[in-house]
Structure 1
């Protein structure tokens, strides 16, 4: 590691543009990615500029933020009425308004023209551009002007697949397809990109398969965990506390299976308690399931936590259960390991790859397997301690933002050299 860092520090310092159509941590893993990657690249000595649409990212003060405004309709109480009529004289704004009010997700289409205008006016400010899965069609022409690297966290085809499987309602299926109507554009763009980065081997294979790409264009760069926030506690954990994850009733998170498993766990361990990070929809599918199983008073949902409160939730848990049907990386599993908590994860996407031997891996969508794995960790403290030790070591070795930045630094320089050679060969 020391030799690699020395080699990097002798390289030219780069002007890097990180682009994302939304970057706030509440936007999910992509917001976390922009925040921490920008820090790690800046710490290597690079000049980093984050170029983002709203909601804007929370980044370190020494890192430049360029705001690319939009109508930001998803922050409005009324997407149809809460917009000035004069704003709709812009064709791009009109497209955004129509899309948002007809069940679509406009940002993958409307961010691109705004980005293109900014790059045309400021191309000389950057040595390389790093796209955070905007996958807008404007990237195709952009990579002719500047070296371009694109991160694809996972193919959104997976989200579409699991959401369609979660309902038999014909009209709801139409709405789901409408929301995901940007996917064909993403696939077309991805096929023409010269360099794609993915956060896991599993995600890379799925991108290749679902987007019909060539392996040669893809490199794995694992995401990192902030070890300054996520680390073990000296306090004892709470016996029989289970921590799981929710995301507004998203089927892909697999929370249903944890909820269905919980009554069986309580039969053997009556003192068992379940806390869930995240929110669910009021009177939505998950709330109805909880009520049907008479678990309203047994499950605690927590959200809006500070870093210290989030760490406390992990560290106070006997076990963390990540029942996701699919994850491109799985921040929660890595955060749990960093906090010294064993994780029960499904073999969904990258989760098995992330935990290795530091967790229990189960079949996706199998509540009985969740029951067995949790019961085993409740019963055998030596097994738990062994997994805790392996998890802490694994995160420190494989999942740091410093390591991610070092790998990306090398990729950036490769792409800059390749871009220069291509320009030279055309002259």
Structure 2
């Protein structure tokens, strides 16, 4: 429900929403997953959503049915197969492009700042087209003082990633590089403290946002997200593969805890020689995970898959005897929700918000402390040994997701926050005439005037993209 006194419900009238996302890859990080499913469910409620995004552009399920896509391109400096590329002279369009390249050259991550500046310019020319702006974790200076109702999603503070990456760094040179890459924290803290309304996905993230970013708790609203329960569902026709354990993880991101799962697998295979791990993510060329796979002799027992379709992912999870979330920290954990929705028994750590999703130990999952390979191995052994336990966990897990973690529930609550933002930040005129159709796919790239707010501070270093969610590269 709305905050007391807001005086409007989500069903009061349809809204025109500008949903911003500086990255939208549906297979690499949770931001693209969030935009894809939230936009679809908002449209199903009758709202009109225009997704304004940079590369990689999101895949949207409801295009033409209340959802449109405006491409607001960056220089795409991290694209494959030529990441960290130097653009040709003819690619530069304005001073924002120059800022983007200069920041990359000096070891920073420019996209949140530069996307926010392009978005500011674009929105300034189209204020009459939208009732509310929803920023998906850009947290750039360009989004301050827009003169439009603003709601910002912070999945979790990336200060957490920074701490864990620094703790895992083996040398002072690596630590210096990490500090430069994560220079965004200065900008993010300054922006977050001035945001009128912050939406986050768990109680754990809410506490971290308040502690790390200094956002007053009264401005933070918790709206859990969830699984697409129509897609992620049980299917008895998919055969269960003996000993199969599935996880979704970025091998090179310390907070995902994959190295502890690899060590646990080595222990489990003593009693279960058929046990093997399928990782939805990119095979690492080096680093702690690659070293662990080699040192434990697990080259044939650990398989990495990437770029698979949703249908392939669902069938992979269905085929597993156990799904595992070994993370040291999660702001929500879409992989946990999706595995539970699929009816696969879950072993998960208690890192961050994972317990809020996975539920009580022994009832909807088997829970273990983060960073404890021995405890992880014991839980996996217990699950692989006891088919009855797996069936009970699977049934209870799906029931939990259906009751608490669906995209429909997330969209209803998010729409309520939009109405509240309009009421408290300065309501616009009700929807009457249709907004401009110029913002559809194919609109000229940056749009709007070339000028910028001379009061906007540009000195802070931008941030690295958060990569949390249900698909990894």
* TM-score, length basis structure 2: 0.85
**What is the aligned partner in structure 2 of residue 51 from structure 1?**
52
What secondary structure, in the 3-state scheme, does the structure 2 residue paired with 1:194 have?
Answer: coil
Instruction: Give me the whole-angstrom Cα distance separating, in 1, the residues matched to 2:203 and 2:10.
Output: 28
**What is the aligned partner in structure 2 of residue 280 from structure 1?**
283
RMSD of aligned residue pairs (Cα, Å)? 1.9
Which ranges of structure 1 fall in alignment gaps of 5 or more residues? 2-6
**What is the aligned partner in structure 2 of residue 35 from structure 1?**
36
Instruction: Give me the whole-angstrom Cα distance separating, in 1, the residues matched to 2:10 and 2:144.
Output: 31
Within a 5 Å distance, the mapping from 1:19-418 to structure 2 comes to 19-59=20-60, 60-62=62-64, 63-75=67-79, 77-78=81-82, 82-88=86-92, 90-142=94-146, 145-235=147-237, 236-357=239-360, 358-418=364-424
Instruction: Give me the whole-angstrom Cα distance separating, in 2, the residues matched to 1:77 and 1:241.
Output: 32
Shift of 1:304: 1.4
Shift of 1:8: 5.3
Higher alpha-carbon deviation: 278-287 or 178-187: 278-287
Per-residue CA deviations over 1:208-251 (Å, capped at 9, x if unaligned) read: 11112211001111112111210011134222211123214111
Contact 2:86 2:101 in 1 (8 A): no
What secondary structure, in the 3-state scheme, does the structure 2 residue paired with 1:116 have?
Answer: helix
Contact 2:234 2:342 in 1 (8 A): yes
Instruction: Give me the whole-angstrom Cα distance separating, in 2, the residues matched to 1:66 and 1:90.
Output: 19
Shift of 1:421: 6.9
Shift of 1:139: 1.9
Which ranges of structure 2 fall in alignment gaps of 5 or more residues? 2-7, 430-473
Structure 1 or 2: more helix by fraction:
1
- Relative to structure 1, is the Cα distance of residues 107 and 233 closer, same or farther in structure 2, using a 3 angstrom cutoff? same
Contact 2:192 2:214 in 1 (8 A): no
Shift of 1:195: 0.7
What secondary structure, in the 3-state scheme, does the structure 2 residue paired with 1:141 have?
Answer: coil
Higher alpha-carbon deviation: 67-76 or 256-265: 67-76
- Relative to structure 1, is the Cα distance of residues 77 and 171 closer, same or farther in structure 2, using a 3 angstrom cutoff? same
Instruction: Give me the whole-angstrom Cα distance separating, in 2, the residues matched to 1:181 and 1:80.
Output: 18
- Relative to structure 1, is the Cα distance of residues 27 and 242 closer, same or farther in structure 2, using a 3 angstrom cutoff? closer
What secondary structure, in the 3-state scheme, does the structure 2 residue paired with 1:25 have?
Answer: coil
Instruction: Give me the whole-angstrom Cα distance separating, in 1, the residues matched to 2:131 and 2:70.
Output: 16
Instruction: Give me the whole-angstrom Cα distance separating, in 1, the residues matched to 2:163 and 2:348.
Output: 20
Contact 2:131 2:428 in 1 (8 A): no
Contact 2:21 2:53 in 1 (8 A): yes
Shift of 1:38: 0.5
Shift of 1:168: 2.6
- Relative to structure 1, is the Cα distance of residues 81 and 377 closer, same or farther in structure 2, using a 3 angstrom cutoff? closer
Higher alpha-carbon deviation: 32-41 or 77-86: 77-86
Q: Whose RCO is larger (CA < 8 A, sep 6+)?
A: 2
Per-residue CA deviations over 1:243-285 (Å, capped at 9, x if unaligned) read: 1232141111100001111111011111212111111322343
What secondary structure, in the 3-state scheme, does the structure 2 residue paired with 1:97 have?
Answer: helix
Shift of 1:70: 1.4
What secondary structure, in the 3-state scheme, does the structure 1 residue paired with 2:297 have?
Answer: coil
Q: How many residues align?
A: 416
* TM-score, length basis structure 1: 0.93
Per-residue CA deviations over 1:376-421 (Å, capped at 9, x if unaligned) read: 1122222222211111111111111111111011111111111237
What secondary structure, in the 3-state scheme, does the structure 2 residue paired with 1:311 have?
Answer: helix
Per-residue CA deviations over 1:72-120 (Å, capped at 9, x if unaligned) read: 1111655666412144472211111111222211011111211111011
